[in-house]
Structure 1
Amino acid sequence: MTTRRTFLTSGALAAGASALAAPAIAQGAPLKWRMQTYAGATLGEHVAKPAIDAFNKIANGQMEIELFYADQLVPTGELFRAMQNGTIDAVQSDDDSMASPTEVTVFGGYFPFALRYSLDVPALFNHYGLDEIWKEEYAKQGIQHISAGSWDPCNFATKQPINSLEDLKGKRVFTFPTAGRFLAKFGVVPVTLPWEDIEVALQTGELDGVAWSGITEDYTVGWADATGNFLTNSISGAWIGHFFANQKRWDEVPDHLKELMKAVFDQSHYYRQHWYWAGEAKLRVTGDKMKLTTIPADQWATVEAAALEFWDEIAAESEVKAKVVAKIKEYNQAMTKAGPPYREA
């Protein structure tokens, strides 16, 4: 019979021998990556930094990701090319903002009225095949699509109140390329500027408003002070954003660190989901910097109808775009048939 004393002594010796024989987990210098996010420093504290801090801590010296905010290394519109040529190793952005030359770029950010709630994003990517489509399209460009997640809805924040579709005409608005293309149908004038310049542009009158985020972001980054009016009608219920990496750099990462990165980024997606979901409701109720306005339902219905025509317009451009639009239509039809809480009756 093995006694407790002999077990402890023989066990300790065996454990020590195993430890000496086992190869070191980390060999040589740690891997170092540079990642740039679309978000400025204030917003990045929520949407990017916690995930990168967690990864660096858990990686325990084997790998380190250095985080940069909007336009710090390269302009946001050059993020894709910089990642593709290896100037930076990874990116957190939507496809649209970083000018990705893929067939799916038009769906990044806010594709008008495709999503009602933040949960629609992971549902589409994980259960309706969008993740596979994105990975295939980015592989053609030498990029690893790591994962997609949802951010906040898209609402107008403006200096002058918006109470009708007529009030949108002529408004110079900072927004995403595809959203701007759609909103131009209603007289909106899309404006492209560096993210960090938006607050000043609102203060000086260069911009009349933004259609870039929900109310949480308006308060977080200071746009609530520079606008003062929030339109409750939403262009999209959630923003689609992603984590990407240069494929060669991704291939250099050990499998266990790849899994860690994916897990940490999934946690990041989850954090944003509840942070925005809670913030959107709370600030509409308790926020004191923005007056809420609403375009009447009958007028807004014409915008929704135009979005469906816009989908077909996009689908006609390529087979891949048609495939994505078909998935979006299939999903929304299922949600509508399911009724509350998925969609209103």
Structure 2
Amino acid sequence: MLKKLTRNMLAGVATVGLAMSMGTAIDANAADGDKTKLRIQTHFSTETLSGQMAQEFIDDVSAMSNGEIEIEMFFASSVVKSAETFDAAATGILDCDMTGGAYQTGKNPAFQFAGDLTGGYQNPYQQYAWLLHGGGYDKLNELYNANNMEFIGWWIPGPESLSSTKSFKGVDDLKNWKFRSPPGVITLIFEKLGASPIVMDFNEIFTALETGIIDGADAANITNNVGLGLYDIATETNYPGFHSMPADHLACRKDVWEAMPDHHKAILKVGMQALGLKNSTINEVKNAQTAKELREKGIKLNTWSDEDLAVYRQAVQDSWVEFATTPESKELLQSHLDFLRELGAMQ
């Protein structure tokens, strides 16, 4: 919010007194500088690599704005549950949401395609290319603005790995496999393959694994899974990841965004683009290191066969069509598919 000059400050500036005596209007807000204060929640804890990257984003934004943008970050969904963050921001409990669009599929299945194409893109850079060069910003904000939010940017850790307390070598091991799943199309895909997805909050995964409520989890990539403590219980995983590559977002309430000066908007948008690049590249490095460490600890890292991956991808494409039930979801899905075909990554 913009500050007003106090009486003492006015008294201390001779030119102001002169201007006032001449009846000239003074822009007090500009004289004191602009301030933007944001309350943001992320589902990542400070112990995870992504949580540490979120803190780096805060530091970068503060430095670039010369302290004009102040961010109070609530880590590990400490205010509301992860899936409730978007609504908490849209209704004023928070200002911004730093979780992911796919949590909001209950509002509109289009949010699935605003957060995770579930195996459509092969790497984060293809997905960023759609955002930056395929009309992604405009497409996403058609959806976000209709829900009183402004989409600002993505940060994509890369393909995720599933963790399991049971054998996890291929599609056959999915039969009756109970696992934590985020909401959205991923539940439909795995149900088609015989698994039993259970939607639960990020913070409930460890206890559910520990108590045997679930056999495994769709949580994050192997590095963030380590930060969550999942491999203290789960003995198998898949690497490299293939099933999902969620794009975490920064989205702020529309009136909060519109009240910001243009240079603050630019700082946040460019800051997210910088976070995206740093996050994807550091996760690529860390995942390779983590894979080596997990093998040394006796965790089985399974690489699924081409045949199993083909079965999975067929279930994915069938589920996309089945899940896209609204005009917005069909349009957003088609935008992704058209772009992938332009890249030659899909027929």
TM range (shorter): 0.7 to 0.9
- Amino acid in structure 1 at the alignment position of 2:181: T
Measured after TM superposition, the shift of residue 94 of structure 1 is 1.2
- Amino acid in structure 2 at the alignment position of 1:188: A
Distance 1:113 1:302 in 2: 12
Partner of 1:314: 323
Q: Any gaps of 5 or more consecutive residues in structure 2?
A: 1-14, 20-26
1:190 pairs with 2:197: yes
Secondary structure at 1:48 match in 2: helix
The question of whether the paired residues in 2 share the 8 Å contact of 1:155 and 1:232 is answered with: yes
Measured after TM superposition, the shift of residue 141 of structure 1 is 1.6
Distance 1:240 1:94 in 2: 6
TM-score by length of 1: 0.84
Q: Any gaps of 5 or more consecutive residues in structure 1?
A: 1-16, 338-342
Identity within the alignment, %: 21
Residue of structure 1 aligned with 2:210, choices 203, 208, 224: 203
After superposition, residues 248-287 of structure 1 pair within 5 angstroms as 248-287=255-294
After superposition, residues 44-83 of structure 1 pair within 5 angstroms as 44-83=50-89
After superposing the two structures, state which structure 1 stretch, 230-239 or 213-222, moved more. 230-239
Measured after TM superposition, the shift of residue 23 of structure 1 is 7.0
After superposing the two structures, state which structure 1 stretch, 21-30 or 231-240, moved more. 21-30
Secondary structure at 1:97 match in 2: helix
Change over 3 Å in CA distance of 1:192–1:319 after alignment to 2:
closer
Residue of structure 2 aligned with 1:127, choices 123, 133, 153: 133
Secondary structure at 1:238 match in 2: coil
Distance 1:227 1:269 in 2: 29
Supply the RMSD in Å over aligned alpha carbons: 2.7
Partner of 2:41: 36
Distance 1:187 1:47 in 2: 36
Measured after TM superposition, the shift of residue 284 of structure 1 is 2.4
After superposition, residues 8-19 of structure 1 pair within 5 angstroms as none
Residue of structure 1 aligned with 2:344, choices 332, 336, 342: 336
The question of whether the paired residues in 1 share the 8 Å contact of 2:88 and 2:94 is answered with: yes
Q: Number of paired residues? A: 321
Partner of 2:111: 105
Distance 2:150 2:106 in 1: 13
Q: What's the CA shift string for 1:162-212, capped at 9, x where partnerless?
A: 123221112221122121221111122112333222122212212211122
Secondary structure at 2:101 match in 1: coil
The question of whether the paired residues in 2 share the 8 Å contact of 1:121 and 1:149 is answered with: no
Partner of 2:306: 297
Q: What's the CA shift string for 1:37-56, capped at 9, x where partnerless?
A: 12123225323111012223
Change over 3 Å in CA distance of 1:26–1:65 after alignment to 2:
farther
Measured after TM superposition, the shift of residue 245 of structure 1 is 0.3
Distance 2:188 2:31 in 1: 49
Residue of structure 1 aligned with 2:245, choices 206, 227, 238: 238
Secondary structure at 2:44 match in 1: coil
The question of whether the paired residues in 1 share the 8 Å contact of 2:178 and 2:197 is answered with: yes
Change over 3 Å in CA distance of 1:109–1:171 after alignment to 2:
farther
Secondary structure at 1:331 match in 2: helix
The question of whether the paired residues in 1 share the 8 Å contact of 2:181 and 2:200 is answered with: no
